[in-house]
Amino acid sequence: MTLSHDDLDRLRKIRYLTLLDTRVPEGFFSALPQLELLDLRGSKSTGGVAQIGELSGLRGLAIRHARGQIDLGVLGKLKALEFLDLYALAGLTSLPDMSELTRLRRVNLGQLIRLIDWTALTGVPALESLELNNKLTPDLEVLARLAKRSTFESFMWSAPDESQRKVDAASRTADRPKPNYVRIADLWS
């Protein structure tokens, strides 16, 4: 599917949008000033990531299932962002700088098999909760640094396909109770 500027009239006041393998034309998101929650799924939809910096009121963002490289540097512009969910981004090797995201409290990461640089998590000023899902190789040094922060409240790694020893080591290092499970759709209610 491909959205066009003709679709803007019916979407202009929307606050929550999920796009599944949907192409987004240039400048589309800037015409959705009330959008608070955005869920981009599939390689066609994630092509719109470059435009999300235009969404100054975005509180929740999920980017899921993209095969190619995605430049997530634009995340630093999302000053209102509170929740970030990154899942199955095959080309992601490092997390972007998020040090300016003073409202970002919750990060969910999953199935990021090539992610090796987790350092940006230590720069998130208000991070309270980190939830990991499935195949990952968490940086235990980063988890240890997070564990020293008084604002860091919860950690969980649900990984039925990983060795239990690996999961236990990460959980011991983070040293926090499990968070309540939250999806982007839960933020809407």
Q: Which mean pLDDT values do the consecutive 10-residue runs of the chain (189 residues) have?
A: 88 92 90 93 84 92 89 94 96 96 97 96 97 95 97 95 94 92 65
* 128 secondary structure, DSSP code: -
Closest CA to 58 of 16, 98, 93: 16
At 188 the pLDDT is 60
To which CATH superfamily is domain 5-188 assigned? Ribonuclease Inhibitor (3.80.10.10)
Side chain identity, residue 85: D
At 183 the pLDDT is 66
166: which residues sit within 8 A by CB, 6+ positions away? 159
Q: Using the CB atoms, write b or e for 65-92: b if 16+ within 10 Å.
A: bbeeebebebbbebeebbbbbbbbbeeb
Domain residue spans in the chain? 5-188
At 15 the pLDDT is 93
Please tell me the distance from the alpha carbon of residue 149 to that of residue 138, in angstroms, as a whole number: 18
Measured CA distances, 160 to 1, 28, 154, 155, 164 (Å): 34, 39, 20, 16, 8
